[in-house]
Structure 1
Amino acid sequence: MKSHQPKQLKTQLFSCGFFRHCGQTVLSPTATGPTPPPLPLTQTHTSTTCESSTSSSSNSATTSQSFTQWRFSIPTPTSTPNTPPLPPPPPLPPFLSTIPNLQELFHVSELQSTTDLNAALNLLERSLVPNPPQDQPPCPPNLMRALIRNLRESKPATKILFALCLSEANRRVAVEAGAVGAVVESAPELEGAPAERALAALELMCTVPEGAEEVRAHALAVPVMVTVMGKTGARGKEYAIGVLAVIYGGDMGDMQTAPPEEVARAVELALQGDCSARGKRKGAQLLKTLQHLSHPHSHDTS
């Protein structure tokens, strides 16, 4: 695979208008014309000058604190006895830690993943995870493959996979990249929130025909789902039950899997523990399906 140099992220922290504003206002923030000459220091103005100077110094004390971060090398006015306090500086534009254009985000992350995968995953996490849209452009297959190879090692990986699978287009990309098998095989080693997110992504992938076919064809899918039902929290049980419902609810053909009776016992045990309301509804429907598979002629009438 060819090595690509990562594209430089160009972030404009300051606009030209911002510098123009600073250049115009730092010496004389409110005056529109030349700075008036200082008042002559006569005996009749001594007390007025001192009071004005004291007031100006006191009022600008707090304002000057907000300028400690700027460090501009600009000469200080020699005498501004009648100048009002400096206005607060305009706020800085926030640092561009996210890329609003998802297509550009995927392209930049794909290039960066060839040299620094952790940096690429961190960029995806900051930009995609907080508020993932359901309408996403297709994720590059190379980036998706790099992501699923690191489901066990990288903390953001399950977050990113789940966020991507909220889009139907990326569910298909994930299935084609081998995400179904990767989740099934890594799920027993995951714990807590990463395990729940991986199972949620797997259930979403099962909503597309290719994903459902992949999970039914995987020899470890049923035993792994039965295993994780016994050790995950309420949400994890719900997603595992959903995957089992996909496996046993479709055309199984000649697929060799665990007997429905054994799976039914595992589901019943899972429903007795901590399980979400949706998980209980899915479990009840799954038990009916498993019962029908165990006794296909039990409801036949003579």
Structure 2
Amino acid sequence: MKTHQPKLKTQLFSCGFFGHCTRSVLSPTASHSPSLPSLPSASDQPPPHSRRPQLLDSESSSSSASQSFTQWRFPLPHSPIFTQHPSIPDPPSTFSIPPPPSISAATLKEILHLAELQLCSASDSDRLAALQLLERSLVPDPSLDPDCTPELMRGIIANLNTKTGSKPSTKILLALCLAESNRHIAVEAGAVGAVIESLPEMEDPAAERALASLELMCTVPEGAAEVRAHALSVPAMVMMMGRMAARGKESAISVLGVIFDNGVSPEAESAVTAPPEEVARAVVLALQGDSSARGRRKGARLLKALEEQQEGSSTAGVDPATVVGRS
């Protein structure tokens, strides 16, 4: 008749018991199992009201450990059960990242000149290196006010519709358009048409930045005029409203608001290829999805302008006031 060894349940006890188990040798050939420490009697236990703080501390410790658990590796499968590991401190919840070193005006001027020369190169690697240099220099510090030349702007715009250059060039264009002086240079260099025509081929993050740049260029008179005169402005913005998330959708609505604000001018009337009622339906559908509160307000103003464009007739039966209240 076989003699069964007593089973030892692996439970988490106090630190003293944990250390006792690690010092004990658990061998199947041992004549007796190591004695377990006796549980304290009822008279030795503290009263219930004194045990509550310990429970709260345990709950707080478990919650803290669960939050940082996924940041550490699981133990290896062959690790022994009773192995003491050194205590690993929890990672800090926030990391203080020092700001990038500021670039002097002279250094920035040299960087812009070098990038301008590289963008004129016939080598794809040189042009990509120039875009990466501008991205590292301009994007981290929006407070910079670079003096962009038309030649440099044309070199950036030329890479909007390339596979490798679309991502960095949209970042650089947006960083440059934060300065009003560069918006005039961008419009003169043909950025409005280049952005509108490149939008369908861009990935969503790049398209969102390009739409934000176009919205900024619409704040200068010549930029607004270029948008109104381009034949693809309305179809491109309608398409972007249905495709983009909240921020890109808001920029597209803003551009449409520039086109239809106070009616379409006679010189731009021939360029508007979509009837106002169709644009209104697209705006309503876009606002029913993911949109910000500011985007809904802009959409309501656009619907009102489209309604006035229809000489007081209702635009698809939509009340602009109801759009503002939608989430």
With normalisation by structure 1, the TM-score equals: 0.63
Q: CA deviation at 1:146?
A: 1.1
Find the counterpart in structure 2 of residue 124 from structure 1: 134
Does the aligned pair in 2 maintain the 1:97–1:126 contact within 8 Å?
Answer: no
Aligned residue in 1 for 2:148:
139
Q: C-alpha displacement at 1:152, in angstroms?
A: 2.3
**Partners of 1:138 and 1:173 within 8 A in 2:** no
Residue 19 of structure 2 is matched in structure 1 by: none
TM superposition shift of 1:104: 3.0
Q: Which amino acid aligns with 2:185?
A: V
Q: Name the stretch that deviates more: 103-112 or 271-280.
A: 103-112
Partner of 1:105: 111
TM-score (norm 2): 0.59
User: Identity of counterpart residues, as a percentage?
Assistant: 63
User: Does residue 218 in structure 1 map to residue 234 in structure 2?
Assistant: no
Q: Could you list the runs of 5+ residues in structure 2 that have no partner in the other structure?
A: 1-99, 315-327
CA distance in 2, matches of 1:189, 1:297: 36
- What's the counterpart of residue 252 of structure 1? 265
Q: CA deviation at 1:285?
A: 0.7
| Structure 1 CA distance for aligned equivalents of residues 113 and 297 of structure 2 | 41
- SS of the aligned residue for 2:258 comes to helix
Q: How far off its partner does 1:193 sit?
A: 1.0
Indicate the SS of the match to 2:243: coil
Amino acid at match of 2:168: P
Aligned match of 2:189: 177
Q: Which 4+ residue blocks in structure 1 deviate beyond 3 angstroms?
A: 96-100
Contact 2:307 2:313 in 1 (8 A): no
1:227 to 222, 239, 249: 239
Does the CA-based 8 Å contact 1:238-1:282 persist in structure 2? yes
Q: What is the count of residue pairs matched by the alignment?
A: 203
Measure, in 2, the Cα distance between the counterparts of 1:233 and 1:208. 26
Name the SS for the 1:230 alignment partner. Answer: helix
Q: Given residue 100 of structure 1, which amino acid in structure 2 is its aligned partner?
A: S
| Residues 242-263 of structure 1: per-residue CA shift (max 9 Å, x gap) | 0000011155224121211110
What do the CA deviations read for 1:228-279 (whole angstroms, capped 9, x no partner)? 1111111110000000000111552241212111100000000000011211
Structure-2 residue corresponding to 1:276: 292
What letter matches 2:295 in structure 1?
G
- Greater Cα shift, 99-108 or 208-217: 99-108
Q: Aligned residue for 1:163?
A: 175
The answer for unaligned runs of 5 or more in structure 1 is 1-95
In the alignment, the residues of structure 1 paired with residue 287 and residue 187 of structure 2 have an alpha-carbon distance, to the nearest angstrom, of 29
Distance apart, 1:136 and its partner CA: 1.8
